[in-house]
Amino acid sequence: MRVGFIGFGEVAYTLASRLISRGAEVVTSLEGRSPSTIERARALGVTEASEEDVYSCEVVISAVTPDVALEAARRAGRHVRGIYVDMNNISPGTVRMASSLIENGGFVDAAIMGSVRRKGADVLIIASGRDATEFMKLNMYGLNIEVRGSEPGDASAIKMLRSSYTKGVSALLWETLTAARRMGLEEDVLEMLEYTEGRDFRESAISRLKSSCIHARRRYEEMNEVQNMLGEVIDPVMPPCIMRVFERLLDAEVSADEDYREVLDGVIDAFL
């Protein structure tokens, strides 16, 4: 199996490492890449090739930044011989636009449903589109792919809807625990929530608080995309409120090992 990557950042590197270890040939163009990227790719055993050679692979995976996802599909459009897998963090509408650019129709919408940094190549990837089952053949090379939905855009929509929920929970936790901290009841509230929500809730809640601060800008921008998508199917109420919470966290400076009470104290003025 020859798998081509457009883009070779953290996601591509992680998946390529697993694919190569299981016997697949991974191909990418290193033209214009940074010295560190070139060094990592060569050390991994990636086959260096021209863009045209990448497009000729049985599976072509686009793993670029969202702002260039459409351009990547446009460049590949008439050259793809197998299937083109868009694994970028883009809206369902943008996915459908990318799909229309792949002339042979072999397009798969793929969404990563967890942290590649934490889970590595075992991270769940959901896929939709006519050729999603073809993409699933990479499970034989160590990936963890499930087919969800039937059309391009379905996988990305599932990821965005999940994002709407998880970011909403984070925003609600921030408002609840900020108020509890001002009342001197934060420990009691966490204990009662753990009683009703189940074991490990405390650890999960504190992790959400910190990551919301550390990634506030990105999550604010992602919620804006979620709001646009929801607006196509319903009249959404929550996104502006969730975005307002993340907006209040934009200037927070938080370290991962900081006590959660210090995290709350550091931004509490933004909630007054």
Would the pLDDT of 27 be above 90?
yes
Fold type of domain 156-271? N-(1-d-carboxylethyl)-l-norvaline Dehydrogenase; domain 2 (1.10.1040)
The answer, yes or no, to whether residue 216 has pLDDT greater than 90, is yes
Pairing relationship of beta strands 125-128 and 107-112 according to DSSP bridges = antiparallel
* Same fold for the pair 2-150 and 156-271: no
More confident: 123 or 221: 123
Domain residue extents for the chain: 2-150, 156-271
| Distance separating alpha carbons of residues 118 and 204, to the nearest angstrom | 15
Question: Domain 2-150, CATH 3.40.50.720 — does that match?
Answer: yes
Number of other CB atoms surrounding residue 269 within 10 Å: 8
Phi, then psi, of 248 in degrees rounded to 5: -70, -20
Average pLDDT over residues 73-85: 97
- Indicate the helix (H) or strand (E) that contains 270: none
Choose among 95, 56, 62: nearest CA to 225.
95
Residue 254 has pLDDT above 90, yes or no: no
Mean pLDDT of the 178-207 span: 96
Digit-coded pLDDT (tens) for 95-110: 999 999 999 999 999 9
Average pLDDT value for residue range 113-124: 94
Tokens, residue 213? 């601060």
pTM: 0.89
